[in-house]
Amino acid sequence: MSAAAALIQELEQECKTTRRVLERVPADKLGWKPHAKSMSLGQLAMHVASVPGFITSWALQDSVEVSGGRGPQQPQSTSEVLAAHDAGESKAKEALSTLGDGGLGQMWAMKTPDGKTVMSMPKAALVRSVAFNHLYHHRGQLSVYLRLLDVPVPSIYGPSADERLGM
């Protein structure tokens, strides 16, 4: 199996899990924050939904300019978050298919508006660490938000206290 195909397979599996977590986000709590410095539940859910497609598409370019601007948008509904997730998964799979193994080996850089390089890495590392691992980190954070709101947390990599996987 090619590296690109393996990443797509992983993405598909993880997106199933991510969707289960996002489906639990209560629409009436989208503005809730566990702390004043935290993202709202809705912003975090939208970030989780958008990260794979948004960041993986960066790999289609040799560099991306960032200015540190706005954070994730505040969704109006859980269905808006789920639609963003589904679109992001499709966008990420398309980007990985377009890149292929050859593209994954090319270099990528993040730059400031004045051209300063903030980070540089092979595109495979961008996908693995900045897109996928970033998603897993924030999905875990989202599961804590759900727990704090007393929303049943789905199984992610094994049974949760709320789901025993048919046991």
Q: What is the pTM of this model?
A: 0.92
Q: Is residue 85 in some structural domain?
A: yes
* Residue 167 confidence class, pLDDT cut points 50, 70, 90: very low
Q: Is residue 70 in some structural domain?
A: yes
* Residue 138 confidence class, pLDDT cut points 50, 70, 90: very high
Give the domain extent around 111. 3-148
Q: Which pair of tokens denotes residue 27?
A: 């629409």
User: Phi and psi at residue 113, in whole multiples of 5°?
Assistant: -60, -25
Judged against a pLDDT cut of 70, whether residue 165 lies above it is answered with: no
Q: Is residue 117 a contact partner of residue 111, using CB atoms and an 8 Å limit?
A: yes
* Residue 166 confidence class, pLDDT cut points 50, 70, 90: low
Q: Is residue 103 in some structural domain?
A: yes
Q: Is residue 25 in some structural domain?
A: yes
Q: What local confidence, expressed as pLDDT, does residue 161 receive?
A: 87
Q: Is residue 154 in some structural domain?
A: no
Q: Is residue 120 a contact partner of residue 108, using CB atoms and an 8 Å limit?
A: yes
Overall domain count for the chain: 1
Query: ∠99-105-110 over CA atoms, to 5°?
Result: 85
Q: Is residue 160 in some structural domain?
A: no
Q: Is residue 46 in some structural domain?
A: yes
Q: d(Cα 21, Cα 143) in Å, to the nearest integer?
A: 7
